[in-house]
Amino acid sequence: MDRIKTAGNCQYRFEPGESELVSEDASLERDEPWECPHDAVEGEEYCVFHLSTAHRSELGIRDRQVRAELIAAVESDSDTRNEFVGATFGELDLRDRKINSTNALPINFRHCTFEGKVRLQDAHVVDQLDFSHSYFRSRFELDSARFDSDLICYDCAFDGVMSASTARFSGRGVFSRAGFEHTAAFNNGTTFDDDAIFTGTTFRSNAKFTGTQFEGRAFFRGSEFRYRALFTSASFADIASFADARFTDATVFDSVRFDGPATFGTEDIHSAYGPATFETAPTFEDSVAEGFLDFTGVDFEDGGDFSQARFEELVDFRDSLLMGDLRLDDAQCGERFEFNPRAAGEGSSSPASGRHSTAGPSPNRRRATSSSTFETPWSGPSRSRPRPPSSRLSTTCASSRLPSGSSTSPPFGPP
């Protein structure tokens, strides 16, 4: 394949605007001015990466030539030629490739526009890939890819399907403040070995995390699930936070395993994230929580189903808003079950403050239901205790309690 003829320096310069977003993570903060290190196409002002796709087509430059120039730049000895800030790409096909820079430096695609598919299926990416603030107009395909370092998609816009089934992220997977217009699929055994960060992410279509393995911390703080949120058979080995998340459609956590502390409520009195909201009834059937499970202050606007769930430690529903039936058929609780929902119209309080509603049932609040009654001490007031009309409950709760004065909130630190 003929190389593209070049002459002189590319004149592209990136100047960050006043509207640049600032992240909780200092490494993702406001950009610095940047000058393109690549050579301009002969007779043109810009390099092949900063020409528009339409102009490249007029010059007879094809996507595969752009790909060849990109790979050559990444593999060069230069410390800066692996940077492509503000570039525009058509289709970028990097399937079945090992991608690593000669100097083991991050590959910088910040503020780029991808007009065609980005295809990384079965690729092995050694170095950090940074797509922060980029725009993907078509599909982003990562199926069965391996990422040895961080994949950063902070504040990205995905107009096409995002597919990362069976991918493995050995570094951080950062999708904070990203927006997915179509299905985002991290399912069928996708593994996050390090932190999975979806803070403030918006899913406008299916969010598929079925069978996903979160070996590091998982943060979905402040995320919006505007369509189905599917976490069936996912596993969380460390901290899982869904504080301040909003679920507006079907929400499925069936057969999920939480090995570490998990919260859907306010993390602590100093947290900027409040409790989550479920607009439709979530299902946690057959789920297992080995650690603390927190629903303090959470809004269940249509009830919820925890049938056959198993809670090994404290599970806390205090101050939650329960607008429908909370099913606990055949659930098991090994330590302590806190249940004292607030009436409709009452504001929630922080779980760390110790201020919880003791109001009795109201016409707007339904009670927990199950096939029988609790056999062990109940931490809520007697009038809130679920009493179905018949049969015994197979739910069992040991009488152990937290030490006096201890906090019910786990240490959910910022990612």
Q: Return the CA Rg of the chain.
A: 25
Instruction: Inform me whether the pLDDT recorded for 16 exceeds 50.
Output: yes
pTM of the model: 0.83
Residue 27, pLDDT score:
52
User: What's the average model confidence in pLDDT over 102-123?
Assistant: 94
CA 111 to chain centre: 21
Whether the pLDDT of residue 406 is over 70: the answer is: no
Q: Is pLDDT larger for residue 118 or for residue 364?
A: 118
Whether 209 contacts 183, CB under 8 Å: no
Torsion angle in degrees (nearest 10) through CA of 217, 218, 219, 224: 180
Taking residues 68-72, what's their average pLDDT? 95
Higher pLDDT, residue 344 or 96: 96
Q: What tens digit of pLDDT does each residue of 164-216 get? A: 999 999 999 999 999 999 999 999 999 999 999 999 999 999 999 999 999 99
- Listed residue (138, 151, 183) closest to 165, CA to CA: 183
Instruction: Please enumerate, as own/partner, the contacts of 367-372 that have beta carbons within 8 Å and a separation of 24 or more.
Output: 367/322, 367/325, 367/326, 368/322, 368/325, 368/326, 368/327, 368/328, 368/339, 369/325, 369/326, 369/327, 369/328, 369/329, 370/327, 370/328, 370/329, 370/330, 370/331, 370/395, 371/329, 371/330
Integer Cα distance of 87 and 360 in angstroms: 60
Residue pLDDT, tens place only, 120-136: 999 999 999 999 999 99
Q: Residue 235 — very low, low, confident or very high, per pLDDT cuts 50/70/90?
A: very high
Inform me whether the pLDDT recorded for 309 exceeds 80.
Answer: yes
pLDDT at position 1? 54
Residue 38 β-bridge partners: none
Select the more confidently predicted residue: 83 or 395: 83
CA distance 395 to 376: 9
> 367: Cβ–Cβ under 8 A, 6 or more apart, which residues?
322, 325, 326, 361, 384, 386, 387
Percent of the chain surpassing pLDDT 70: 78
